Amino acid sequence: MKVSFKRFSLLTLSMVLAATLAACSSGAGSGEEETKPSTQQDAGGPLTKYDPPIKLTSTMNETGKESLASGDTHAKNIWTRGYMDELGIDVSYEWIVPDANYNDKMNVTLASGDLPDVLKVSAVQFEQLYEAGMIEDLTEVYDKYASDLVKEFMSAEDGAGLKPVTKDGKIYAMVSFPGSLDSSDMIWIRQDWLKNVGLEAPKSMQDVIKIAEAFTFEDPDGNGKDDTFGIALNKDLPINAFLLGYHGYLETWIKDGSGQVVNGTIQPEVKEGLRELQNLYQKGVIDPEFGVKDFAKMMEDVNAGKSGMFFLPQWAPFQVSSMIKKDKNVDWLPYPVQSIDAEPAKTQNHLSLGGIFAVRKGYEHPEAVIKLLNFQTEKMFGESAKTEREKYLNGLTGLGFHNATVSNLPANKNVKAQDEVEQALKSGDTSGLELEAKLFYDDIMDYRNGNLDKWHMERIFGPESSQAVIKHYRDNDLIVMNEFIYAPTRTMNTKQATLDKLRAETFLKIIYGNLPIDEFENFVANWKKLGGDQITQEVNEIIKANQ
């Protein structure tokens, strides 16, 4: 039964679809359709080919032409040919749009009620579809058809990736789960400046502050001018790694002493971190114009040699690699977050999903989405990868897997690769390196032989690298996970933007000194009143319901 809902908003989509389904199930639809026996053929094993072939429709977000092999298109490429030739699945796309337009286009599709067989959706869209009863329960087909490799990937971090799409013990979608480790916070410090001011690597938050002050007042670049700042910031306030030194967990849901889940943003530890940032700003350690600069401008200043410390995740070397090409004496090293007291500082990590892949209710072959996932996993990481991986990672970027209808990567694969690379660099034995690790190893050796273009690989995967910092967090139990891993609550959808604006404006004014630090208490009270208390209640209810 296909229904058009073009006149209805997405907020009413769930109610409308649920009512429609209720009408169908109560006999309003065709009785013949309800009792018609299934003609579904035996789907065989995880990679068994359908014979005759089946049809499957989906949608696609473009990743750019450079991700495609010569002659391929987003509609017809190495993946669609592989699906047909090896699985007997004829995949076609109802629409293909740029990444920036994908979410809006999917909203229009959901509102129309004319759904493709496989839906790549956001967490909010998934919840709407689930509440409306419009997607298939995949529990049995996952258990029966998922390959051992797919199940291995999905079991990472105690099965965290599947938890947001599991309802009452039943799985309603597949996910792309990259793991949470790459979200780790860290401190980046210019190593050449550190040597110039005669200081050692930080072992405490006090050391971090001392380094920042030295980078401001002790002429770290040796040009005889007072033209440097210790800490680089911008108006979006990337201060997580600083606040973690005071055990403050910004925009993270954590358990309090009673076991209730609370928002870290409004806890007193955040106030203490802001107090020190205000102090450093007043001393001149932070650029006085940071509040009007965006991320790009901040990094422009960093690359111009204006700051010697910033707080970014593991991908930061890509942002400063041009400095090393201009001057090989420039070097940046990542450090774990540091503590202001005897309690170890921990990073705050967040679960994120690269994609949610649901199957519309009534599609004859719900197991087909599992087979597509098996296929992508096998071609990139299974036995087939030894001979075919390069073919499926086609294009100039090596991002050809984005053109697969559904896809997943091994969770936290980067830290595993770093560990392999580090061991190979020590021993000189590369025989045990997996495919990606071997590529990283080769790039690092290329850098060490003089190719400065590959410096970023040394700093992401080498012995002194961002992934090494992440490994330190993992191995020493220095991670606080965000307790809320589900779609935004109802009040989040309507009030979160207001709360975010309140936080940004208040914190900026506190750091600038335009508000006293004790204004933090008024911020907390307003946060609670403007929706924070209701969101907290909803968060606890959802977490309890999914335990």
Between 463 and 70, name the one with better pLDDT. 463
* Per-residue pLDDT at 395: 66
The reply to whether 158 and 22 lie within a common domain is yes
CA angle, residues 514, 520, 524, in degrees to nearest 5: 135
The reply to whether 464 and 515 lie within a common domain is no
**Tally of structural domains, the chain:** 3
Amino acid at 407: S
Tens digits of residue pLDDT in 274-313 = 999 999 999 999 999 999 999 999 999 999 999 999 999 9
How confident is the model over 496-512, as a mean pLDDT? 97
Lowest mean pLDDT among 38-47, 212-221, 280-289, 333-342: 38-47
Check pLDDT > 60 for residue 3: no
Contacts 24+ apart (CB under 8 A), 132-135: 132/13, 132/14, 132/15, 132/16, 132/17, 132/18, 132/21, 133/17, 133/18, 133/21, 133/361, 134/17, 134/21, 134/360, 134/361, 135/172, 135/173, 135/358, 135/359, 135/360, 135/361
Selection from 292, 291, 293 nearest residue 302 by Cα: 293
The reply to whether 357 and 264 lie within a common domain is no
Selection from 44, 15, 106 nearest residue 370 by Cα: 44
The reply to whether 342 and 209 lie within a common domain is yes
Check pLDDT > 80 for residue 337: yes
How confident is the model over 81-99, as a mean pLDDT? 97
Is 106 domain-assigned? yes
Domain range enclosing 475: 413-479
Three-state DSSP state, 309:
strand
Is 1 domain-assigned? no
**Mean pLDDT, the chain, as a whole number?**
91
Is 53 domain-assigned? yes
* Per-residue pLDDT at 386: 84
Lowest mean pLDDT among 63-72, 482-491, 495-504: 63-72
The reply to whether 337 and 190 lie within a common domain is yes
Last residue of a domain, one of 363, 385, 403: 403
Tens digits of residue pLDDT in 147-196 = 999 999 999 999 999 999 999 999 999 999 999 999 999 999 999 999 99
Is 2 domain-assigned? no
- The CATH number given to whatever domain includes residue 84 is 3.40.190.10
Is 329 domain-assigned? yes
CB 450 within 8 A of CB 506: no
Q: How confident is the model at residue 24 (pLDDT cuts 50, 70, 90)?
A: very low
CB 407 within 8 A of CB 425: no
The reply to whether 363 and 420 lie within a common domain is no
Three-state DSSP state, 175:
strand
